[in-house]
Structure 1
Amino acid sequence: MASQLPLSGYKILDLTVMTAGPVGTMLLGDIGADVIKVEEIEKGELSRNMGTVFAAGESSMFLSQNRNKRSIRLDLKQPAGRDAFLAMARHADVITENFRPGTVDRLGIGYEAVKAVNPRIIYASVSAFGQTGPYAHLPANDPVVQALSGVMAMTGEANGPPVRIGTPYPDFGAAALLAYSVCAALLHRERTGEGQKLELSLLSGTIFSAIPRDGETLRTGEAPPRLGSAHPTFVPYRNYRAADGHFFFLACFTEKFWSALCKAIKRPDLASDTRFATNVARCVHRAALDAELEAIFATRPVAEWLALLAEHEVPAAPIQDLHDALRKDPQVAHNGTVVTVQHPTAGAIEMLAHPVDFKGTPANYRRAAPLLGEHSAEILTEFGLDAAAIATLERSGVVHGHVPLEKDKVA
């Protein structure tokens, strides 16, 4: 199976940490790339020790975003570690990193240093704000980018403060862009033989995700308002509470759906009311229409409304929490959204499947997230170092294999 995957045979040296980079390289690993996670010598990648949920000493955060990878512990601050990395880079196809801008150059493993030994390399750098510019040197993470990009300002109730999005969207947008750009660069290299440097930022990706709010903002000179679950240019398009206290989302984004809604709730008078005759009019009279609909939806439980709306083909859905979505929703189950992989110490680990259903070359879950340094000697051997050279690196502390950390022992 693995030999038939789109990226089989391509080697990626993955220096990324936290979420954006690791998820992007996991997507590439799912479709066949040999992703080699180059980790800090002492504690490994940052997310190994983060969060509050652990399985056999392994962070759930790390497990969820690092499958289909191998791990090597390498001290890049030592000259011998740098040389070992460049020796691997000579035979790699892709390098990914998301250190603070300038770090890889100071370590002697930046794009120019790698290009000197491998002109065909694809070198992808992910950052919060960009590799240069007034913010490039500042520390940041996903919520900081949400704040700066304008996304947080448009999220929250109308009379409330800005609210962080519940999922790390800037990270996942950057992860998708990383996977996309690496594939595009590899295709270009196949056609021309040319490698290249790729630079992408969470900030640019997040602002790009604001489409089509960008056009409205640039043309009107006004930022989108906070409207809770409502939409700035479609009405009705928000959460409503049913008689049993449960919420559902209703989305009438065409006149066809608005007409169907009026039939479903047996209120043809709303369809003929000049205040609500068009979407533009409904936006102007949003408060009046919402008051009517809130009173109507408060008369029956959510299940009845959803059945009625489905019968009339009006877009609507219950507001589910993530646990219900993952464990109870029949469409999520049908889509095969949760898969199980075997971890060497934690056993069976449930995690999210690759989000694209490749009909000809389906994603392959070959291995769970690696133990720290689990494959150090194996990887160096594959890149041409003999046993004596590896032993020398180990004695000097430049390379470590897997040694259980204190948290592993306790677990």
Structure 2
Amino acid sequence: MPEQKKPMPLSGYTILDLSVMTAGPVGTMLLGDLGADVIKVEEPARGDLARDLGNQFVNGESVQFMSQNRNKRSLRLDLKSAQGKAVFLRLAKTADVIVENFRPGTVDRLGIGYDAVRAINPQIIYASASAFGQSGPYAAWPANDPIVQAVAGLMDMTGEAGGLPVRLGAPLPDFGAAAMMALGITTALLHRQRTGEGQRIDTSLLGAALFSTIPRDGETIRSGKAPSRLGSGHPTMVPYRNYEGSDGKYFFAACFTEKFWTNLCRVLDRTDLLSDPRFINNTQRTANRHLIDAILEDIFATQPAAHWVKTLSKADVPCAAVQDYHTALTTDPQIRHTGAVLHLEHPVAGPMTNLANPLNLHGTPVQMRRPPPVLGQHSEEVLREHGFSGSEIDALLSKGVVKGSRMDDVDQDLVAPAVAG
């Protein structure tokens, strides 16, 4: 008898995913990785907005979309039509979770909001992610990740001293909201298992962005001053920044304890700095950062960056080369060792990569069961599984309420569960 695979943590749970762009789709992708059946309900004409975003496409498939939608099935459904609404509510009657990240009020106007679904499925968990929250003066603003960075103060505290505010290089508020939403959903599922109660959940990019600034919040409120832009430097720890080697390359050194400061001085043969009253503790080093940085810059300019990374690491000083993102993804030995980059086969785009789920459950590991779906790839399959008859499906297709795959010639033999490489 073949060995039975363990069920995944979220096997058996069905999620209707109405979300688009990044925060919602990444959150549901995390849950799909854990075994949930994520049905991505998409607008019939174009689907998720992310399908048209960016400037890199493979056979018409957006690289941006594919990066955040694995382990899902796609259903093209016209939610603006009465029949489309009826189809959705029929699916929602037996679903476990619904996720949306439209502007507040949109799902209610469509007649598929929390109250409408709860009336037919009292145990539903209904999760909403938005830019600023479901109410308040900014709730209706059009916004995305950098708009939230600007409001939350992240952009103002980022950049070189004396320079302009800078957008973060990665959409961290989006990913913070995605993680918080996934945590909220799994918590609500546990609560429902214990009590039988469903509930509504909402989180926001603004909330996630502000939460990610800990411990800057306490420092700012106590001092009454906003954090200064310090480039790669730190407002309360010195030395703690990028330094340049003799070859023009950079490395980051972080002495966030007295032990690491002592180790640094010893390996540089500058133990005199340990007794210098200007650098006697972190408070004094912070007040005199320009002095200690000037000393270190002169020392580090004598050898290539790689020399300092090796020398300081051996002396137990936290440091690392500042490498570009392509190098990190393709050649960094630690990143390769952790399996952070997955290799999948897409039915239209062919070989592709995704970033792995960073959660490691050793007893029930995450699985890459499906590549990102082609728009409408699973429309008929999903409806059949949820009790729609062949004649009902044909009628919905003929009226355009439901649409099938955007490419009728997709070879279904290629749509096999993808194995992480």
- Cα drift, residue 216 of structure 1: 0.6
Q: How does 1:11-410 map to 2 (within 5 A)?
A: 11-404=14-407
Whether contact under 8 Å (1:2, 1:32) holds in the other structure is no
Query: 1:298 is aligned with what amino acid?
Result: A
Separation (CA, whole Å) in 2 of partners of 1:74 and 1:214: 44
Structure 1 residues not aligned, in runs of 5+: 406-411
Give the Cα–Cα distance (whole angstroms) in 2 for the partners of residues 68 and 186 of structure 1: 19
SS in 1 for 2:203: strand
Which TM-score applies when normalising by structure 2?
Answer: 0.95
Quick check: 1:156–1:227 contact (8 Å CA) kept in 2?
yes
Q: Counterparts of 2:270 and 2:320 in 1: how far apart (Å)?
A: 21
Tell me if the contact between 2:264 and 2:315 (Cα under 8 Å) persists in the aligned partners.
yes
Q: Aligned with 1:152: secondary structure? A: coil
Letter in 2 for 1:254: T
Flag the 1:104–1:66 CA change in 2: closer, same or farther, 3 A: same
| Offset from partner CA, 1:259-282 (integer Å, 9 cap, x none) | 000011111111111100100000
Distance 1:95 1:161 in 2: 41
Note if contact 1:3-1:32 (Cα within 8 Å) is conserved in structure 2: no
Q: State percent identity of aligned pairs.
A: 60
1:2–1:8 CA contact under 8 A, matched in 2? no
What is the number of equivalent residue pairs in this alignment? 405
RMSD: 1.0
SS in 2 for 1:227: coil
User: How big is the shift at 1:185?
Assistant: 0.4
CA distance in 2, matches of 1:168, 1:321: 17
Specify the alignment match of 2:419 in structure 1: none
Report deviation, 1:345: 1.4
Q: Deviations over 1:71-96 (max 9, x none)?
A: 00000000000000000000100000
Unaligned runs of at least 5 residues, structure 2: 409-421
SS in 1 for 2:261: helix
Give the whole-Å Cα distance in 1 for the aligned partners of 2:345 and 2:234: 43
- Residue 293 of structure 2 aligns to a residue in which SS? helix
Deviates more, 1:348-357 or 1:151-160: 348-357
What is the identity, as a one-letter code, of the residue corresponding to 2:315?
Answer: H
Question: Amino acid of the residue matched to residue 314 of structure 1?
Answer: V
List structure 1 runs of 4+ shifted beyond 6 angstroms.
none
> What does the per-residue CA deviation read over 1:176-207, in whole Å, with 9 as the maximum and x for residues that have no partner?
11111100000000000000000101001100
SS of 2:156's equivalent in the other structure is helix
Q: Distance in 2 between matches of 1:272 and 1:328?
A: 42
Distance in 2 (CA, whole Å) between partners of 1:145 and 1:209 is 13
Please give the per-residue CA displacement for 1:131-190, whole angstroms capped at 9, x wherever unaligned: 111011110000000000011110000110100000000000011111111000000000
